[in-house]
Amino acid sequence: MAPSEPRRDLVVLVADKDMDLALRGMLARPESLATRPISHTILRHEDHDAGVRLGAHEHLRGAAADFRYALALFDHHGCGADARPATDVETSVQERLDGAGWRGRSAVVVFEPELEAWVWSASPRVHETLGISAQQRRDVLEHYGSTDLGKPGEPKAAMHAALRLSGRPPSAALFGELASAVGLRRCRDRSFQRLVGQLRKWFPPAA
């Protein structure tokens, strides 16, 4: 008898609630992602970024028969391997996933330096969701050193500064709001493009 097909499309191991809600917001928008609808389960590692880096292969090993594909997501900053290039860190985690039953159907994405870098896309929905004006957004970017991608050098600190200006408390729910509202096709962040590109490869839109 042939083995049964995995029941669901995708299992994702993330480092925290911020990533969880951001990814849920993205996956709820298959048309914006340019994918078909993706059935998915999102798991959080109790040891956050370092836990995903060191233990993704063990955490996901038991799910290999139940899902077609797997993702491991975590921040470069705080993962315990900040001194190494993010691409090298991804490779080392990928090698362990390959040995845990996920060869050819998994991917690792390390956010550089942290998930908050995604927040600072060029979309006007960013400052609207954060509750600040366009001028305040420019001021925050100038203060925190805009990169060649138009993002602050310290994205988490910049995000918290913007929220102080608006009087809005930081919360994981904000990531879900941003992922649900901001356009997904304009972001040039390497980790974002890697994630979206992988999802499009695995789950192309139906013909």
Every domain of the chain and the residues it spans: 8-112+189-202, 116-171
108 pLDDT above the threshold of 90: yes
User: In 3D, which of 121, 44, 96 has the Cα closest to residue 129?
Assistant: 121
Q: Which residues contact 176 (CB under 8 A, 6 or more apart)?
A: 21, 22, 24, 25
Q: How sure is the predictor about 5, in pLDDT bands with cuts at 50, 70 and 90? A: low
Other CB atoms within 10 A of residue 87 CB: 12
Residue 1: what pLDDT?
A: 34
Mean pLDDT of 91-108: 98
- Average pLDDT, rounded, for the chain: 91
Q: Which residues contact 156 (CB under 8 A, 6 or more apart)?
A: 114, 116
CA atoms of 7 and 64, how far apart (whole Å)? 11
2 pLDDT above the threshold of 70: no
Q: Which residues contact 142 (CB under 8 A, 6 or more apart)?
A: none
3 pLDDT above the threshold of 60: no
User: In 3D, which of 32, 34, 14 has the Cα closest to residue 23?
Assistant: 14
Q: What is the DSSP letter of 8?
A: E
Per-residue pLDDT reduced to its tens digit, 121-164:
878 888 899 999 999 999 998 898 877 777 888 899 999 999 99
Mean pLDDT of 4-16: 88
Task: Give the architecture (CATH level 2) of 8-112+189-202.
Answer: 3-Layer(aba) Sandwich (3.40)
Mean pLDDT of 172-188: 83
